[in-house]
Amino acid sequence: MSKYLKSIKGTQDILPAQSHKWQFIEHCIRETAQLYGYSEIRTPVFEKTELFARSVGDATDVVQKEMYTFDDKGGRSVTLRPELTAGAARSFIEHGLFNEALPVKVYYVGGCYRYEKPQSGRLREFHQFGIECFGAASAGADAEVIAVADRLLKRLSLKNIELKINSIGCPVCRAEYNAALTAYFEQHLGSLCPTCIERLERNPMRILDCKSPICSEIAAGAPTTLEHLCGECAEHFESVKKYLTAMEIPFTVDPRIVRGLDYYTKTVFEFVSGDLGAQSTVCGGGRYDGLISQLGGPDTPSLGFAMGLERLLLIMEAQGFDFPAPAPIEIYIAPMGEEAAMKAAALCGQLRAEGFSAVTDTAGRGLKAQMKYADKLGARRILVIGDDELKSGVAELKDMSSGERVSVKLKEGLVSAVYDQSIHAALGELTGAVEKKFPPVDTGM
Ligand code: ATP
Ligand code: MG
């Protein structure tokens, strides 16, 4: 096969047979975000490189190693977004959204690009759902943001998930902490990897995130941020924990969580799955009180999270989640001959105008092949139009699940017959759903 017929390494196609799973996840995302008062924001797939360097952070792996950066034809350096917080923050400042009633709560769903080694749960093009809550300083905001992720994971029936939280403090505690960290790592200077030696000067906290086994081992013994929180940060963290407890969201405090992006302050958190292997984090987030002002906006304490959709899907598939089937085709009209084909096309048009999905033959196939095709499509009903039907103007509408056949007048009867059947089916489903939700009460009489 020609090389250009192979998709780029680390990217994947979502084929028609799989796309309903994505649609279901996205449906639940939008539904959940709406429950908490979040509105969608859509930002460009590429931004000026400097935006990411300044927000994600120069010393992070994402900026140092993983970005798809190129010069456009005008010689400007642009980058395919490795995450969406930077774009949302830029947009918040550019459009003066800080003048609106705060907090401004936005969510996004979109593609991200990182030049990483492709493996299970790690791609070069992947998709994130994330939320940003701009302009909320209280611990209740932290708990609410965490609750959005928690609710979605429950909505998607994910099991075996653990919430880990930590506080990495503010610039006040960070100064003291960085000094303690530097002193600690300087004792291990000979063993650190070259990148971490560089990090030691620029941002020693990044060493805690290094994936090399030796650095991780050294990092395991490093002082923790929790031991160095200032009074305000310690109080904030205590309050977040109380909120989570009151909201019945189980968590564990993990002082090793520092997150891979520079902009975080105070609360950071991860939802980790036991069913993902090495790439176990499905969602990561936290507070970034300094980001908006650092980018040139007004002081706006904010926070958010991002969740990897591919990883969500991997977990759901591993746990055997029963995805709702895509909506079936309501009717397949099988014509025999050209005149019948035109009649079928016209009837399909009428049905679609009423909101019923309708498919007919466009490949000029015989009846047997059409039936096979209709069966593959999972069409709910079938109507055959041959010479007899054309002449009489009457045809048989067959319901594929019940086997029931009704005779309908093509001109004025088809649409209403499909209506009648659909209403019956919908009523049946509704009754079933209500009975399931509110089973008859046993009064003991
Ligand atoms: P990791 O430690 O796995 O590299 P990260 O800290 O780089 O994750 P974030 O930048 O916080 O991840 O992104 C949030 C979420 O996006 C991750 O928890 C994960 O679910 C998803 N994600 C990140 N990078 C990738 C990738 N290359 N492929 C697929 N999903 C990813
Ligand atoms: Mg990463």
Token duo for residue 379? 């069409």
Q: pLDDT of 12-69, one tens digit each?
A: 999 999 999 999 999 999 999 999 999 999 999 999 999 999 999 987 889 999 999 9
Q: Residue 105: pLDDT above 80?
A: yes
pLDDT value for 158: 97
The closest of 166, 168, 203, 172 to 185, measured between CA atoms, is 203
- Burial class of residue 346, CB neighbours in 10 A (0-12, 13-18, 19+): middle
Q: Residue 344: name the closest of 326, 368, 370, 369 by CA.
A: 370
- What is residue 347's predicted lDDT score, i.e. its pLDDT? 96
Fill in the DSSP letter of residue 405.
E
CA of 185 to the centre of ligand 2 (A): 23
Q: Report percent pLDDT > 70 for the chain.
A: 100
Judged by DSSP in three states, 114 sits in coil
Model pLDDT, residue 361: 97
User: For residue range 252-302, what is the model confidence (pLDDT) as tens digits?
Assistant: 999 989 887 778 899 999 999 999 888 899 999 999 999 999 999 999 999
Give the pLDDT score at 435. Answer: 83
Q: H/E element holding 132?
A: strand 125-134
pLDDT value of position 58: 85
Ligand 1 midpoint to CA 124 (Å): 11
Query: Domain map of the chain by residue range?
Result: 16-170+230-318, 331-435
Three-state secondary structure call for residue 374 = helix
Q: Could you tell me if 149 and 128 are in contact, meaning their C-beta atoms sit under 8 angstroms apart?
A: no
Pocket test for ligand 1, best of 85, 263, 311 (most atoms within 8 A of CB): 311
- Both ends of the chain: CA-CA distance in Å? 73
| 160-209 pLDDT, tens digit each | 999 999 999 999 998 899 999 999 999 998 999 998 998 898 889 889 88
| From 216, 281, 282, 287, mutation site for ligand 1 pocket: most ligand atoms within 8 A of C-beta | 281
pLDDT value, residue 353: 96
Q: Give me ligand 2 centre to Cα 50, in Å.
A: 19
pLDDT of residue 19: 97
Q: Which residue's alpha carbon is nearest to atom 6 within ligand 1?
A: 260
Q: Which atom of ligand 1 is nearest to the CA of 259?
A: 6
Tens digits of per-residue pLDDT, 324-345?
999 999 999 999 999 999 999 9
CA distances from 306 to 19, 121, 162, 182, 281 (A): 21, 15, 16, 30, 11
Residue 323: phi, psi to the nearest 5?
A: -70, 135
How confident is the model over 111-115, as a mean pLDDT? 98
The answer to whether 65 and 210 have CB atoms below 8 angstroms apart is: no
Q: Looking at residue 434, what is its pLDDT?
A: 84
- Strands lying side by side in the sheet with 252-253: 39-40, 104-113, 125-134, 302-308, 281-287, 265-273, 161-167, 252-253
Using CA positions, which residue lies closest to atom 11 of ligand 1?
284
User: How far is ligand 2, taken at its centre, from the CA of residue 91, in Å?
Assistant: 24
What's residue 89's pLDDT? 98
Residue scoring higher pLDDT (260 or 349): 349
Instruction: Using pLDDT thresholds of 50, 70 and 90, give the confidence band for residue 445.
Output: low
* Top CATH class, 331-435: alpha beta
Nearest CA residue ID for atom 25, ligand 1: 122
Cα(44)–Cα(202) distance, integer angstroms:
30
What amino acid occupies position 422? S
Ligand 2 midpoint to CA 314 (Å): 17
Long-range contacts of 12-15 (CB under 8 A, 24+ apart): 12/123, 12/125
Digit-coded pLDDT (tens) for 376-432:
999 999 999 999 999 999 999 999 988 999 999 998 888 888 888 888 888 888 888
Identify the residue whose tokens are 């990092």.
219
Q: Are 148 and 131 in contact (CB under 8 A)?
A: yes
Average pLDDT of the chain?
A: 94
The pLDDT score that the predictor gives to residue 161 is 97
Q: For residue 262, what pLDDT is reported?
A: 76
Q: What is the fold of 16-170+230-318?
A: BirA Bifunctional Protein; domain 2 (3.30.930)
CB atoms within 10 A of CB 89: 26
Residues with CB under 6 A from ligand 1: 83, 114, 116, 121-123, 126, 128, 260-261, 279, 281-284, 306-308, 310-311
Both structure tokens of 221: 């013994």
